[in-house]
Amino acid sequence: MTAPTCRHCRTPLTEPILDLGHAPPSNAYLRAQDLSRPEKHFPLRIRICPGCLLVQTEDFTCADELFDSDYAYFSSTSTGWLRHAAEYVAMITARLELGPQSQVIEIASNDGYLLRNFVSRAIPCLGIEPTASTAGAARKFGIPTLERFFGAELGAELAAQGQAADLLIGNNVYAHVPDINDVTRGMAIVLKPQGVITLEFPHLMRLIEFNQFDTIYHEHFSYFSLLSVVRIFEAHGLRIFDVEELPTHGGSLRIFGCHADAGHADTGAVAGLLAVEAQRGLDRVASYETLQARAEAARNDLLRFLLDAHAAGQSVAAYGAAAKGNTILNFAGIRPDLLPYVCDAAPSKQGKFMPGSHIPIVAPEALRANRPDYVLILPWNIAAEVREQLADLAAAGTRFVTAIPELRIL
């Protein structure tokens, strides 16, 4: 069998580093009528490129199967994420001195959760969002939105139409891109000569450090170190001149990029973080070899907890029908007999079922109608926010549980 090749540099991917079995796409939520129909499952494995060190999934499906008109993730569901977006817009508007003559473009603008902040400042903006449900929600905020996938072709169209970007934003989308070269080339094309790109994505260093294997799913095609993104940008005539470490999604990076010959001075932060990554071994393939055993240990601990609770007659419910939750539930083979339901605040998910596990998704009010002994918080990155929202349950005796990086009963 021929080895797959790296999505960036085309080097053969001979180094598998983590196998999570077979699973359906993590955001392919099911309706009741779907439960009696065949469900697509794909291998969920990641490999590391020995050439450019890009960590990536093996390709078994394509983007239009993952991000269709029923795609159910709406960014504005999380109040913490809305606050994060508002703070970013205030910062970047001041830093780049954006105003009515500027042009802001966001790739994967979702439901307009971020661009609405530019609209309120009368700064021209354009959202690019391929899924109909979220694009429609953005238009209700008065945000111009193109319902397309972004790449070099669209970048050239926008530039030709006079819509080149002073600021090009991509928050938690770069990892979702199957053709990383096409999208990066498109960013270079649509960016003004002195324009700035900001991208946010989970940091591979934190995934390794905190055993965040549940952030691996088919919709995430790549897992980035700063080193790998620097190499991808350089291949397309772009330069990263600044980087910030963020707490979002368990540890993310916000990179600031520009054309290689643009006038933005390097801050020194890029060199500093590259040195830290080298100290942690991210520039060596051998450093990734512990991922499998650590993922299996976390899976086994969660299964043991659920089995013990079931045997003791204790009730367990879950909160947050997030993609990362689907990864661990399917890896562990957890079904409704051990976890009878998952609560989620997003109306678009309520009444549906988790892919693979077929666990029903209900409104959070179910927790108060029948208070469980434990609530398993699947999106551990917003555990503090969830515990605050459910403080009344804690006061009544419910305990909270997270499974990553290891099982914790809070």
For each of the domains in the chain, give its residue range(s) and CATH number, in order of start.
75-288 (3.40.50.150), 302-409 (3.40.50.720)
Q: For the chain, what is the largest distance between any 2 Cα atoms, rounded to a whole number of angstroms?
A: 66
Give the tens place of pLDDT for each residue, 269-319. Answer: 999 999 999 999 999 999 999 999 999 999 999 999 999 999 999 999 999
Tens of pLDDT, residue by residue over 65-110, are 554 445 445 656 667 889 999 999 999 999 999 999 999 999 999 9
DSSP 322-344: -HHHHHHHHHHT--TTT---EE-
pTM value > 0.75? yes
> What is d(CA 14, CA 1) in angstroms, rounded to the nearest whole number?
11
* Three-state DSSP class for residue 345: coil
Backbone torsions φ then ψ of 381, nearest 5 degrees: -70, -20
Low-confidence ranges of the chain (pLDDT < 50): 63, 67-69, 71-72
What stretch of H or E contains 377? strand 374-377
Please provide the size of the chain in residues. Answer: 410
Q: How many angstroms separate the CA atoms of 245 and 200, rounded?
A: 10
Give the closest residue to 277 by CA, choosing from 228, 349, 233, 241.
228
Structure tokens at 26: 């993590």
Type of residue numbered 295: A
Strand partners, 258: 239
CB contact at 8 A, 104 and 167:
yes
173-182 b/e (C-beta count within 10 Å ≥ 16 → b): bbbbbbbbbb
Q: How far is CA 130 from the centre of its chain?
A: 16
Q: What pLDDT is stored for residue 69 in this prediction?
A: 47
